[in-house]
Amino acid sequence: MNKKTLKIDKLPTIRRLPTYLQILRGLSLQGVEFVSSAYLAEQMQIEAILVRKDLELTGISGTPRIGFGIADLISSIEAFLGWEDTLDACIVGVGQLGHALLGYKDLTQYGFRVVAAFDTDPAKISTSVHGVTIFCVSRLTELLKRFTIQLAIVCVPAEEAQQVANLLVESGIEAIWNFTPVNLSVPESVTMQKEDLASGLAVLSVKLTRNSAVEHSV
């Protein structure tokens, strides 16, 4: 599979895999050992054939009339997503969003452990949020190496975003999870994922407007 195919054709599947994991982990806690594609399709509100195609991407196949072994399926999805081992991460920018992410304990289920946070506000430096110490950004390069941090979650104001990205790249960061509205410029060697909250809000707004229009036309 080439990089373009994985990026474009398989992206919807990749976005669905964490939801499969959530369902499967719930079933596992209940002591359930097998699950059918029909059950997963019902929970996901998609067609069963799409479920089978999604799971085939992870390299696992079900058994007719039995279904998928839940333990094996969880392992296969985690391996495909690279969530078997936990990556150390940091948050740069401890405003409202950064603060909220520090409190999001489920990140560890998705293969990330936040071990440090950085900010420029003197009132925040040397304090801790949910057990994570906040350091001055001036120590970023030093501490990224000490903690062997591979991922940086960027939550700074837009006007500071590119400067922070440049510093992260110079410090040897491997991946950036960008929560700013800025399209950051980084080398191809740095993995980048942008979360555009405005785009999500725009889609929600359009759906709400259309649903309201349909209701009023009935």
Return d(Cα 179, Cα 11) in angstroms, integer. 19
How far from chain centre, in Å, is Cα 152?
12
Listed in sequence order, the residues at least 6 apart from 8 whose beta carbon sits closer than 8 Å to its beta carbon are none
Compute the Cα dihedral for 158, 162, 165, 167 and give only its sign.
negative
CATH architecture of 3-81: Orthogonal Bundle (1.10)
Res 116: pLDDT: 96
Res 150: pLDDT: 93
Res 27: pLDDT: 96
C-beta neighbour count of 124 within 10 angstroms: 19
Tell me the whole-structure pTM to 2 decimals: 0.75
Res 183: pLDDT: 93
Q: Which two tokens stand for residue 29?
A: 């806690």
The domain limits of the chain are: 3-81, 87-198
pLDDT reading at 8 higher than 50: no
Res 6: pLDDT: 47
pLDDT reading at 5 higher than 80: no
Q: Where are the alpha helices (DSSP H) in 30-149?
A: 37-44, 48-56, 70-81, 96-102, 140-146
Helix, strand or coil, per DSSP, at residue 128? strand
Res 23: pLDDT: 95
Identify the band that residue 91 occupies on the pLDDT scale cut at 50, 70 and 90: very high
C-beta neighbour count of 119 within 10 angstroms: 22
Strand partners, 173: none
Compute the Cα dihedral for 117, 123, 125, 131 and give only its sign.
negative
Domain 87-198 has CATH 3.50.50.60: no
pLDDT reading at 213 higher than 80: no
Mean pLDDT of 97-104: 92
